[in-house]
Structure 1
């Protein structure tokens, strides 16, 4: 544990006490805990806290990554330095013929806090249509927009314009609009007005109940420092004797006996260990590692597992299927007349829109970025000046769906990520419209003072524009849906997030989402953690 990034109300004395307590607990690891939570990301940190709030419950929180005590994590502006570092799992999708054969990186957090410790710190709650869709798929109104709105109000400490119907101000999570918006962000909202796009006070307010609009982002940044979910939820309880946080530990298998999860196998300090759970095991390893561990445990598609010699525990063909992600074109770029330094997280304004008028909710998004971020393929074809800014055109409602597959039975065997990005022609059509909208915004009168020239893509014939998109597509790191909640044959968990056919095993992370929401996945993953915790407390009478 570190002595900085201390949540409000906690001082250096608490930091020392927490560190000493965790060293003591890790030095005397128990064989059995009441609950084992695997993964300290945006869902796992929530579950660990909510369970450990009960002093009679012992919780082991296992994390494969290491400490979040590093400037690259703590300082908001340093987030790009985490990508490709030791704090990144470093996954890569298979070469994709729809992306001109490119194999794109799939970064995921491997550190205390998971993705919330390496991401761009945007708090995006999801559209009303997302949550109502989740509720319909689960057959449970607890997942509806009206229900999760109550939870959001409970957990948020919102610093922006008051909205008692939608925003809370007394919760754990400090959330703020940009304190001093970058001038390009302010001009982007003016450009939206110029183009007839409504501008809202709050990206997470009424805007997420309608057809779209423009707004500043909500940020998880305080005084220039990242506010990860681990730091906000879990860290304040690390001085307690009933919560053990175990970093540097790789979960390799869920142990199942008599149709029930009894614990986990893992690798700690290069040696195999087993920890038992007297109550439940909760997998919160993310949408790539959760299905990987499930399949290594014999839970997945029978034919695939049998072909690898993995003993079958439960045939669930949906494990690893339904892979979804948000993608963006990286990126439309304009050169400054005079460079303006980036600040904050480097991007503060956004626009949600429809690629076709008949849609019932937005399906495309523009994300303003204060510095150029081209892919290697686009950078090789364009002279991109350092003094530039950009707009990411993003696809939020992908029709293309991929799949994850094991390449071997061992934990060291890599997972195969067949993303299938742009395999459905409808996605390319939507991205074309999104790039068009980005160019309309970037070349609007309101932004003229920040434009010396449009660097890319400029006006291109259709075939060249498609080539620009295929060479520019990258992930927004919102991998999800690979162990989806639902009631059909491809569902993996029920509305309480319990794994079908395996007792005492739950999943709480983005893999349970039936579809990727119109949001960065941190905030929806917090809701997944909250609903999982409440279901456990209710069923276990905690």
Structure 2
């Protein structure tokens, strides 16, 4: 039996750190290639991932829009057919996708001083659906307070009351619509239903340890233990490609290209007018009469901004990139979730480990930490001890074997800290590298309307614009961001749900 405890760390990544050393090949050869002229569109969207597919689907609902969607990776269906690629759409094939460079950028971080200098693997989707085609399909929105914090950090109009309606708009929950759930959106969401005795025992043990049971982790009370929601429908992964892109492909307002590597945004002065991209070894240009929208994610969007001359002017000049706009926040403020595995042996032959060998790991319990504030190690030390407390409860006694990781010999603060440094890993949730905020914030990259500061007709819409990382998996909030941005781009009034009740613990002492 396995338990994941994930905390998150906040940091800053210089623009030539992990973003710079792992650029795809061929960038420097672009200057010598003569571009061929392509068509003109109202909007060019770069990246058909969790956000880009949403934008393609929503913007092409309007007959006056003509959208070009460019994706560096392949389709999520077999070539020349509409049959789904089984490895992407079968939930049990999760690990296979995370290791397949046909659908994955396969990035790696710089060595991390706080983690014994280890280099962490960073898979990112490179296929229709992006990381929503590779992820663990967990649908967790984050806490209401995350979005209140966004508002305080300068993202005006992105508080919980303005975000919840877009979570609902996106969602078609199998349990139906409600105050916190959507019932008729494109994104299919299901509730975990496992009746496995270890799952039941784990939830009972959590309650015995003093934790509440929550009926809906995305509803009134996120705190506590319970069943997670999943982006799975009728046994298949429900990516944003399934939810938003495939239904829009037949529209005359949408052109979707694959295997296209966008090398830079084209500017006339400080006005974005299109993009240059490579397809089949040839350089092309596509022009946007309205806007260029970057939806490449927290690594590729700031990378493309810098290649296009938008970033820290000193860094760009050192690399010989002409400066269009000095915007020092580009590529900074990188935030990610950190996770660690606590393993307990099971004395009964009922675990899922042997039944799901392709997954290698069975992930059962989940608890999220949402402090910054440099206290990661102390927080993880508490996690180890709280997890041990849960495993020690009566409900798990019939199944409880010896502790496998970190092991019962690891007891002191120093020993636990060493375990965390040696074993903690990224949860693959990079974010915040094109921070949304007010123009007065020197590190802000986009304003609350998702427009890139200092230039015209250019937006960023993806997880990179989060002011700070939310306390949950990033796919659900990234989809929400794109839904809300689509209304902004269309000029529609923002949806708003005033005074939605949210659980708050009576005292900090009762909040485990």
TM-score range, shorter chain: 0.7 to 0.9
Relative distance call for 1:342 and 1:62 in structure 2 (3 A) is farther
Contact 1:334 1:442 in 2 (8 A): no
In the alignment, which residue of structure 2 is the partner of 1:232?
Answer: 243
TM-superposed CA distance for 1:126, in Å, is: 1.5
Q: Is the 8 A contact 1:333 1:391 kept in 2?
A: no
2:133 is matched with which residue: 114, 117, 120?
117
CA RMSD of aligned residues (A): 2.4
Q: Which residue of 2 aligns with 1:356?
A: none
Q: Corresponding residue for 2:230? A: 219
Q: Matched residues in 2 for 1:168 and 1:309: separation?
A: 49
The superposition leaves residues 277-310 of structure 1 with CA deviations (integer Å, 9 ceiling, x where unpaired) of: 1110000000001000000111001111111111
Q: Quote the offset at 1:372 in angstroms.
A: 5.7
1:490 counterpart = 2:429: no
- Matched residue, 1:530: 483
* CA 247–342 in structure 1, closer or farther in 2 if over 3 Å, else same: farther
Change (3 A) 1:274 1:103: same
Q: Please give the alpha-carbon distance, in whole angstroms, between the structure 2 residues aligned to 1:448 and 1:255.
A: 64
Runs of 5+ consecutive residues of structure 2 not aligned to the other structure: 1-36, 78-84, 494-512
Q: Tell me the residue number matched to 1:50.
A: 58
Query: Is the Cα–Cα contact under 8 Å of residues 178 and 218 in structure 1 kept in the other structure?
Result: yes
Contact between 1:156 and 1:175, CA under 8 Å: does it hold in 2? yes
Q: Is the 8 A contact 1:371 1:390 kept in 2?
A: no
Verify the 8 A CA contact 1:122 1:219 in the aligned structure 2.
yes
User: Are residues 95 and 259 of structure 1, via their aligned partners in 2, closer, same or farther at CA, if it must alter by over 3 Å?
Assistant: same
User: Which residue of structure 2 lines up, in the alignment, with residue 201 of structure 1?
Assistant: 215
Residue correspondence of structure 1 range 307-386 to structure 2 within 5 A: 307-341=318-352, 373=361
Partner-residue secondary structure (3-state), 2:230: coil
Residue 466 (structure 1) shift: 1.3
Q: Are 2:386 and 1:433 aligned?
A: no
What's the counterpart of residue 304 of structure 1? 315
Unaligned runs of 5+ in 1: 1-28, 347-368, 374-387, 400-423
Cα separation, 1, equivalents of 2:477 and 2:278: 30
TM-score, normalising length: structure 2: 0.82
Classify the secondary structure of the residue corresponding to 2:95.
helix
Partner of 1:428: helix, strand, or coil?
helix
Q: Among 384, 391, 413, which residue is 1:462 paired with?
A: 413
Task: Please list the CA deviations of residues 420-462 of structure 1 after superposition, one character each: whole Å capped at 9, or x if unmatched.
Answer: xxxx3x1111111112122222332222333332211133132
**Pair 514,343 (structure 1): closer, same or farther in 2 beyond 3 Å:** farther
Is residue 199–residue 364 contact of structure 2 (8 Å, CA) maintained in 1?
Answer: no
Q: 1:253 aligns with which of 240, 260, 264?
A: 264
Q: TM-score, normalised by structure 1?
A: 0.78
Would you say how many aligned residue pairs link Structure 1 and Structure 2?
446
Q: Secondary structure at the match of 1:190?
A: helix
